Structure 1
């Protein structure tokens, strides 16, 4: 790690293990605190994380995205973000910056690198399809195929019905937006008066996906984030009714990762998505 950073490491504090890697806080010889994620064999995952962070931060002077200090086959290094309780102003600022990030559209849905969500492959094949078809084929169907054993046949058919009806459920067409792709509250850190994004599954997708993910597991400052967001870029009519549709992908991923404990939440979201449509 010293060679990668160009400075020696004075101390390392082990934090925890998560998925296939371990997390650490370290202090360099020049006094910089850093966050280190390391694993024996996660080169594609770390490469995707670094590419996503850099892509989300590109072409803007004020990005709500953590800087990548270093990355190789076994390690990724970010600045240490000292935690701070979020304020109303910080939440609104994050909403404005998130809206600005989303407004930098892309030519195609997908991304120019192989994606991962946690340590599960994520199909980022670029496509000029309508978003609904891309979402159904690249985000819903693959994880339904992997996780179907945790559902009964009627529940599998329920998700398949959404896939078959996706054009009627997807809402107004929007251009591909640069999105975080895994924006639950644990991947939004509050530090130095602002919100900062980490651990993306970044790709060009639908901006409502990030907002739906923020709502999925709860965020105490979501209303303030949305205030900042909508004062910067308005959302399409009916976006709140489409939240369950956008939540189906992360719930399918959680079904794959953690099993049947997410079955009920998935079925609730699927039924709500169909009712909204």
Structure 2
């Protein structure tokens, strides 16, 4: 723990009183640090001996800072970072409530409406431990096909988790993406990996963590919330629609937006998610 305490002290310029290990996520370990004045902090750090991942914590820190520039943005403050560690404000979770869900819907809409200069971002991205190509593009269908579907489809096929027939099915979605994408929308300021485990509930809304932030399609965040279930999701969506009404046909596009995170799951966890990918691709085509 001494090395983690020393790194937190260096990154924050504050004296650290204690560090408690909280487990691990992917290749990095998680800690709760307490400063000498009692302030708690959350820490991610690569363990000694791990080579780390070039730019991973940088991408998260820049993404949080960028998301945080939107009005009422529900993200934790970044207290410090380098290539080996990321230090964030501690978020004390509360049980979800309908009222908090409604507030979160308004927060999420405001964050999306802050917009982006293009689809993509000015930094190299990550989703979990996997690199994510954020090269800016002017149109969403091109960006989604080339930088959100194809890289993970190829990776999943290369590791044997998808068959050639599976790949051809997903490629049918890509071939039809201009028709499936709906009316053009400007790039939104999205979280990019908004499953329910990255939503930390508060009394007055929620805080979102672990972003894969970029300029993207706002429906992607809402589709990800639905993928693995979120408490009071209907309340979140209804409140979102009050602030930023979703485009016509958004329900039919949910499978299209869920295809990217499911392919990421196949890359990370193997063929256990293969059936979900195939069912989602077929649902996207039916739309």
Give the TM-score, by structure 2 length: 0.93
Match for residue 160 of structure 1 among 168, 171, 189: 171
Greater displacement, 267-276 / 62-71: 62-71
Q: Deviations over 1:111-158 (max 9, x none)?
A: 000000011100000011x21121001100111111012122221110
Query: Distance between the aligned counterparts of 1:33 and 1:43, measured in 2?
Result: 27
Partner residue of 2:77?
67
Structure 1 unpaired stretches of 5+ = none
Query: Are the aligned partners of 2:11 and 2:79 in contact in 1 as well (CA < 8 Å)?
Result: no
For the aligned residue pairs, the C-alpha RMSD in angstroms reads 1.1
| Secondary structure of the corresponding residue to residue 63 of structure 1 | coil
| Secondary structure of the corresponding residue to residue 106 of structure 1 | coil
Report whether the alignment pairs 1:251 with 2:258: no
| Secondary structure of the corresponding residue to residue 213 of structure 1 | helix
Partner residue of 1:77?
87
Partner residue of 1:263?
274
Partner residue of 2:4?
none
Partner residue of 1:226?
237
Query: Are the aligned partners of 1:43 and 1:74 in contact in 2 as well (CA < 8 Å)?
Result: no
Structure 1 residues 51-130: aligned runs within 5 Å: 51-60=62-71, 62-128=72-138, 130=139
Partner residue of 1:44?
55
Q: Deviations over 1:57-100 (max 9, x none)?
A: 1142x211111111112111111111110111111111001001
- Matched length: 274
Greater displacement, 7-16 / 113-122: 7-16
Give the TM-score, by structure 1 length: 0.96
Query: Distance between the aligned counterparts of 2:56 and 2:254, measured in 1?
Result: 28
Match for residue 135 of structure 1 among 131, 144, 151: 144
Structure 1 residues 2-21: aligned runs within 5 Å: 2-21=9-28
Partner residue of 2:39?
32
Shift of 1:192: 4.2
